[in-house]
Amino acid sequence: MVAIDNYFLVNCGAGLYKVTEDGAIKKVFGYSYTDIFYKRQGSIYGVEEYNAVLLSKDDGQTWQRATGTPDAFNFTSYYTASDSLVVVTQGSDNQIYTLNWKDSNYRIRALKNDGFGQSEITGLEQLGDTVYVGTTSGLFKRPVSKFFETKP
């Protein structure tokens, strides 16, 4: 379940539901195994497992499925910071990317990951103008303005 604006999106085995402030419940999509929902530039994206993404341009009323996300993103964790989706690959290399969608097309950009060493990234949250990255060896922080710098 995730809150977006003034409603919830609830993903369960029977489908994807939109729950509004007045308590109305509406099924808006069939079965979906979605890892994260986020809103960017007026569209809502739901990143599904197995190389797919859901897209809604009408506040979650209708959805389209696009396939073909990179195979490397099958074993990842997803977080949001600012209005971007942040992708963290699992394993010892600690790669961090932004994955920006426009309709059914995407752009991947590797972010600087210096300072994390060989620690596993266990969480990522934004609080105010700072992004905090939890790892197995400690907590790191960066200003949002520097967090999205591209890896050389």
- Distance, in Å, from the CA atom of 142 to the CA atom of 134, rounded to the nearest integer, reads 12
Q: Is the pLDDT confidence value at 58 over 90?
A: yes
Q: What is the pLDDT of residues 30-45, one digit of tens each?
A: 988 888 888 888 889 8
Strand order in the sheet with 25-29: 2-4, 7-12, 15-20, 25-29
Query: How confident is the model at residue 93, as a pLDDT?
Result: 65
Query: How confident is the model at residue 13, as a pLDDT?
Result: 76
- Distance, in Å, from the CA atom of 71 to the CA atom of 77, rounded to the nearest integer, reads 13
Query: How confident is the model at residue 73, as a pLDDT?
Result: 65
Lowest mean pLDDT among 6-10, 54-58, 68-72, 139-143: 68-72
Nearest to residue 73, comparing CAs of 57, 53, 54?
Answer: 53
Query: How confident is the model at residue 10, as a pLDDT?
Result: 92
Query: How confident is the model at residue 59, as a pLDDT?
Result: 94
Residue type, 23: G
Q: Is the pLDDT confidence value at 90 over 80?
A: no
Q: What is the pLDDT of residues 20-32, one digit of tens each?
A: 999 999 999 998 8
63 in helix, strand or coil? Answer: coil
Residue type, 77: S
Q: What is the pLDDT of residues 108-141, one digit of tens each?
A: 888 888 777 677 888 899 999 999 998 888 899 9
Whole-number average pLDDT of the chain: 85
List phi, psi (to 5°) of 29. Answer: -160, 155
In the chain, % of residues over pLDDT 70: 89
The CATH number, out of the four listed (1.20.140, 3.40.1130, 3.30.70, 2.40.10), of the domain defined by the range 1-69 = 2.40.10
